[in-house]
Chains A and B, each alone.
Chain A
Amino acid sequence: MKTTYREAMRAAIRDALQRDERVFLMGEDVGAYGGCFAVSLGLFEEFGPERIRDTPLSESGFVGAGIGAALGGMRPIVEIMTVNFSLLALDQLVNNAATLLHMSGGQFNVPLVIRMTTGAGRQLGAQHSHSLEGWYAHIPGLRILTPATLEDARGMLWTALEDPDPVLIFEHGTLYNVAGDLADDAGPVDISTAAVRRPGKDISLITYGGTLPVVLDAAARLAADGIDAEVLDLRVLRPLDDAAILGSVAKTHRAVVVDEGWRSGSISAELSARITESAFFDLDAPVGRVCSAEVPLPYAKHQELAALPTAERIVAAAREAVGARG
């Protein structure tokens, strides 16, 4: 079946709404407008305003209401337009969603799914372009998912809804139009492991979400040069799949982490540290990182591109690692 990332996501939401009457979608413009990225287009007509619930512009209010509804037995899917706006709901996400289970001594689960767009690449300027999923991956109590493929766009939501804990799904804005084939019977996928998207033996390129296609492109270019790169898609930023990460490095002995967040204090910093801590003696080269330039993302296309991890930069980092020894 030919589909797009956006349609796969929509199919996942429709499926969830059909399968469980406790599920509802809530967020700004998810209803009449069809979702600001058109993910929920048509669902309002199909399921009505109770279950495809437009909210006022009040991120703290409706994210908190989602948490409350989850406590009250519902299975809300809350859409936040972009991660940038989720900062207005940080209190609810961090102080309530992530903490209630632990603070209540195991009494109160928060079975909530929050979806939001992340990432740059569409010339939207700083306030619509940041990649902050790494921040959320810092917070115990949350599960952080970054679907990069059609299978994951289709399958992660259902599993996330079965999770008794809060799950944040980050959808990179440049992925929505990605088209491809998806099995007719594509269904739920696991939300705990990383996946090798391209096996290889010379170097591990570790990434997730919107940079997966860029990294696959880089790997193809490297292959043309005789460098056989393995591409590992993290899929889940918290909890990280250590076994997959270390397993890949043990095989290739080199790693470059590609992350659209800023390098300082990023998820790539965490990966680099974990690899160094646990696989230091497997390494033939220092762990490399390709991240966004440490600037608020600019509007002008050339500057935006210059700030982002591009295939060229990934290829260069991989060459450097491979050339480092042997």
Chain B
Amino acid sequence: MTGTSSRGTGSAESGHARHLLHQMLRVRRLEEQCVELYSAAKIRGFLHVYIGEEAVAAGVMSTLGPDDAVVATYREHGHALLRGVPAGAILAEMYGYVEGCCRGRGGSMHLFDAATRFYGGNAIVAGGLPLAVGLALADKMSGRSRVTACFFGEGAVAEGAFHESLNLAALWQLPVLFCCENNLYAMGTALARSESQTDIALKAAGYEIASWSADGMDVLAVEEAARRAVDAVRAGGGPHFLELRTYRFRAHSMFDPERYREKTEVSRWMERDPINSLRNALEAAGQLTEKDWKSIQQDVEAEVKAAVEFAEAGTLEPVEDLTRFVYSERSPQ
């Protein structure tokens, strides 16, 4: 079964829509800040920003409950933030400080947070999919009605782990929501140059998984599709698959000279900026005043500013702790 969900209806309660706008802006501003900090050499390593794709994380994340689990990739600052990991802990992690969500051991690509059941932060393309299947298996075997949402790019679709995971999840009817963030490029490789079948939802349907695609630039459309899927998964309907058609506005990483796509293509997509689109739609419908927007912006600026201050005040993990947590501190003899 595959289908395309309708575009956002705009019928969503306006307070909720403003909330989604706020969430998307939080991700946007945090990451713009990251880029600045990166350019200032405050944070290092690989940095992959999500700018342009915020509707995906915001739409899906708003349908999950606190007991659900999230597995994400190396482009996961937004997922972590919207899952509830504090912005300060995310930034401090990128600074490499012990106050970071992984004591500075993970960095940008490896954010983890037990409190919010955020299981990474996986820098191996498709490496998180089997984990999500296993988390869902544990829930199913324990009789818990929890959902594991697994985010990955369309590049992951070519990996064996993708196919093994979809097969297992469908075979065992596990409560997983697969969320493919199809931004059309895996680094510089366009989808059509890597897949014989470019309709990813159709490919997933081949595993007898209910699969839908949605406009990943429209947070209301993403949320609607995700809510339907999450409800079905939670009701015991087995795995569901969402293909969210989106676009990243920035380069793959801070090292990418972006030779593989035309500037005009990027600017065409930027006209569909998920934040501007929702803002404009809400304003046109009289559901967002200039004052509302200002207050959302102020909120976000304050949050990001506080996060930077938190990170700046961070400290280094003592080198004596280097080998802690290679093994647990309570190993049996």
Contact = CB atoms under 8 A, between A and B. Distances in A.
A163 B332 contact: yes
A58 interface: yes
Contacts of A190: 332-333
B157 to A, nearest CB: 15
A108 B119 contact: yes
B326 to A, nearest CB: 5
Given A96-B127, A102-B325, A103-B112, A64 B332 contact: no
B130 interface: yes
A92 B124 CA distance: 9
Contacts of B108: none
A190 B103 CA distance: 32
B114 interface: yes
Nearest to A59: B164
B270 interface: no
A101 interface: yes
B130 A104 contact: no
B112 A102 contact: no
B246 interface: no
Contact of B330 (A67, A69, A71, A164): A164
Given A68-B136, A103-B105, A165-B328, A61 B131 contact: no
A63 B165 CA distance: 11
Contacts of A162: 332
A79 to B, nearest CB: 15
Given A69-B135, A104-B102, A162-B332, A58 B167 contact: yes
Interface stretch (B138-146, B186-194, B232-240, B283-291): B138-146
A62 to B, nearest CB: 7
A73 B143 CA distance: 12
B129 interface: yes
Contacts of B136: 68, 72
Contact of B138 (A64, A73, A92, A100): A73
B114 A108 contact: yes
Residue in A65, A67, A101 whose Cβ sees the most chain B Cβ within 10 Å: A65
B102 A103 contact: yes
Contacts of B296: none
Interface string B122-154: 101001011111111111011000001000000
Nearest to B110: A103
Contacts of B129: 64
B124 A68 contact: no
A64 B165 CA distance: 9
A76 B114 CA distance: 20
A105 interface: yes
A55 B168 contact: yes
Interface of B: 69, 100-106, 110, 112-114, 119-122, 124, 127, 129-139, 141-142, 148, 160-161, 164-165, 167-168, 171, 324-328, 330-333
Closest 4 CB pairs of A and B: A68-B134, A64-B130, A72-B138, A61-B164
13 contacts: A56-B168, A64-B130, A69-B135, A69-B137, A69-B138, A71-B134, A96-B131, A101-B325, A104-B106, A104-B110, A105-B100, A105-B104, A143-B327
